[in-house]
Structure 1
Amino acid sequence: MNDSTGLTKDAGWELGVRRTVDAPVDEVWEYIVVDGVRTWLGDTKLGLHKGDAYETTDGTRGEIRSRTDELRLRITWQPDDWDHDSTFQITLTPAAGGTTIGFHHERLASEDERARMLEHWTGVMDRVVAELA
């Protein structure tokens, strides 16, 4: 790659992945914060309140930055082989026929890191959508 797609003025590199599922917001939210945590985040005991820390079995760690029920969950994200953290956010939006799920990942260090994380989050979104179907 050699373009600036995803490069922000002051938040490094970023990406977004969105899909709409045929389920109401309250059901999708319940999935995101209960049954689907292992799918989108990994195997962890995740506290779901602002300030709660987490670490997955593969070493990714971070904390809950904000939570607005049935709307948004924002966390820091730092795999064990990164020397920096980043910010990951899930947003739910009512849509015709269901709910749009948005993944947004920012403060990525490079174009290559963005490309790797875009591939990762696209695969995660595919699994989330399949589980909600």
Structure 2
Amino acid sequence: MTRGTPARGTPTRSAAPVGLTRDAGWEIGVSRTLSLPPSEVWDFIASPAGVALWLGELRGGALPCEKGESYETRDGYRGEVRGFRPGDRIRLTCGPTTVQVAVSAAPGGRSVLRFHQEHLADAAERERRRAHYKRVMAEVVQALGVDAGA
């Protein structure tokens, strides 16, 4: 073996920590399959009660659904809608981060609910957001009265 050449089977560059990407920085995603059709999950997750679970209670009631519109939560978080496709996904800024909530069809009339947040400050914030979305998912399951993962 020559100098500067890694031993056989040794990675040539160090692996990035879990959750750290080149393009989006620190990010987290939480998903769950729910035993309801996507339309029912969407109707709840995009409603004021659903949005209050994952984003916070909004000033003015409903989340805006037009790209470029701004929102503010009662806790003082502000952001802008980046994308809103009814029945499919909501993408918005939340301070310096970007949040996406998506609902898609799964076999057997079920749906998959996904929360994704990127541009987080660091690994500690990633873990806090992971805990948040896991709590949110449990609250969504309870609110909808469904079995998750079924």
Deviations 1:72-129 (A, max 9, x none): 1101012xxxxxx100001111012411001111111111111111111111111112
Partner of 1:49: 66
Shift of 1:30: 1.1
- Structure 1: 5+ residue runs without aligned partners? 79-84
Question: Could you state the TM-score of these two structures normalised by the residue count of structure 2?
Answer: 0.78
Counterpart CA distance in 2 for 1:71 and 1:47 is 15
* 2:97 equivalent in structure 1: 86
Equivalent residue number for residue 91 of structure 2: 74
Identity value in percent: 44
Query: Scaled by the length of structure 1, what TM-score is found?
Result: 0.87
Tell me if structure 2 keeps the 8 A contact 1:74–1:90. Answer: yes
Q: Give, as a single letter, the amino acid of the residue that structure 2 aligns with 1:107.
A: H
Runs of 4 or more off by more than 3 Å in structure 1? none
1:127 is the counterpart of 2:127: no
Secondary structure, counterpart of 1:102 in structure 2: strand
Unaligned residue ranges in structure 2 (runs of 5+): 1-15, 146-150
Q: d(CA) in 2 for partners of 1:27 and 1:19?
A: 15
Deviations 1:7-51 (A, max 9, x none): 001211001100111111111111121141212211103222211
Question: Does 1:96 pair with 2:110?
Answer: no
Aligned partner of 2:93: which letter? T
Q: 2 CA distance for matches of 1:63 and 1:5?
A: 28
Task: Check whether the contact 1:33–1:48 (CA below 8 A) recurs between aligned residues.
Answer: no
Max Rg structure: 2
**Number of residue-to-residue matches in the alignment:** 125
The whole-number CA distance in structure 1 between the counterparts of 2:120 and 2:52 is: 22
